Amino acid sequence: MEKVKAKKQFGQNFLKDTTVLDKIIQSMPNNSNYVVEIGPGLGDLTKNIVKYKEMTAYEVDTDLIGILESKFAIEIESKKLKLIHTDVLEAWDRQKSLHDGKYDLIANLPYYIATNIILRAFEDDNCENIIVMVQKEVALKFTAKVKDKEFSSLGIISELISLESRILFDVPPESFDPAPKVMSSILYIRKDMNKSIDKDFNKFLKACFVQPRKKLSKNLSSILSKEFISSLYQELEISDNIRPHEVSSSLYSQMYTKVRDGRN
């Protein structure tokens, strides 16, 4: 069989290191949830997951679909694996959830849409656990805590919606073909299924972090009047010099509630 070349436009880097694949499988939660994989590539991770769980894999690349269909003909026939040829973000737009029951998302995500996919998984009410390979820089943002320099809207949303979020382990470039220029990490997030994030809260946080090194009040002034900011700071006892990364998730949550209610 001829070697498949990774395509740049799909952000493809095929994971070839079997020890990494084994470690991902070992980190799967011991539950009865269905599994969804995004971007199965050549199916190396798929092959390991499908031994234990029924699953759906979403793949956008037509060339890879053909390879996966022949590689997993038995699993597809026995309904252990459902292969869907589509752009996963479009699938989410169409159907709100990637599976009609509780599922875990396990995937080696294309870097260029990884953040977007994790945020969509947060919004998907059926998704419980997220175990994804992403650029280390992105994993640090999702697991950052208040006062860390990487603390941003991603860390806040992650903290508010999850029971647990951490980096399981790092994966060096040489574990892939072709090797990316950056270090990767396996990110694990267990969502609190009773919580959800308001879309407007995301917009509010974006405004708060528009210039992360500036004072928070300066960033807020693009969406709120000086008087409102001043009364907000007074009410919540926020120091005027505070920077965006120094404010805790729960305080952002309180601020947002007051902003939302104050505007009604």
Model pLDDT for residues 167-214, shown as the tens digit of each residue:
999 999 999 888 888 999 999 999 999 999 888 999 999 999 999 999
As a whole number, mean pLDDT of residues 73-97 equals 97
Place 11 in a pLDDT band, splitting at 50, 70 and 90: very low
What are the φ/ψ torsions at residue 129 (nearest 5 degrees)?
-110, 140
Say which CATH topology domain 8-191 has.
Rossmann fold (3.40.50)
Q: Which of 123, 238, 133, 120 is nearest to 188 (CA)?
A: 133
Q: State the number of CA atoms in the 13 A half-sphere of 186 facing the CB.
A: 20
Domain limits, CATH 1.10.8, in the chain: 199-263
Q: What is the DSSP secondary structure assignment for residue 256, as one 8-state letter?
A: H
The CATH code for residues 199-263 is: 1.10.8
Which pLDDT tens digit goes with each residue over 42-78? 999 999 999 999 999 999 999 999 999 999 999 999 9
pLDDT attached to residue 177: 80
Please count the CA atoms within 13 angstroms of the CA of 70 that sit on its side-chain side: 5
pLDDT confidence of residue 176: 87
**Residue 106 φ/ψ, nearest 5 degrees:** -130, 120
**pLDDT tens column, 116-146:** 999 999 999 999 999 999 999 999 999 999 9
Residues above pLDDT 70, as percent of the chain: 94
Q: What is the structure's pLDDT at 181?
A: 87
**pLDDT score, position 198:** 86
What is the average pLDDT value for the chain, to the nearest integer?
92
Tell which wins on pLDDT, 162 or 5. 162
Q: CATH 3.40.50.150: which residues of the chain?
A: 8-191
Q: What does the pLDDT read at residue 16? A: 80
Residue 2: the pLDDT is: 41
Q: Is the confidence at residue 239, as pLDDT, over 50? A: yes
- As given in the structure block, the two tokens for residue 13 are 């880097």
Determine the 3-state secondary structure of 144 from DSSP: coil
- Mean pLDDT score, 2-12: 49
Average pLDDT value for residue range 259-264: 76
Whether the per-residue pLDDT at 14 is higher than 80: the answer is: no
pLDDT band at 4; cut points 50, 70, 90? low
Extract the runs of DSSP E, i.e. beta strands, from 192-231. Answer: none
Strands (E), 45-177: 55-59, 81-85, 103-108, 127-135, 162-171, 176-177
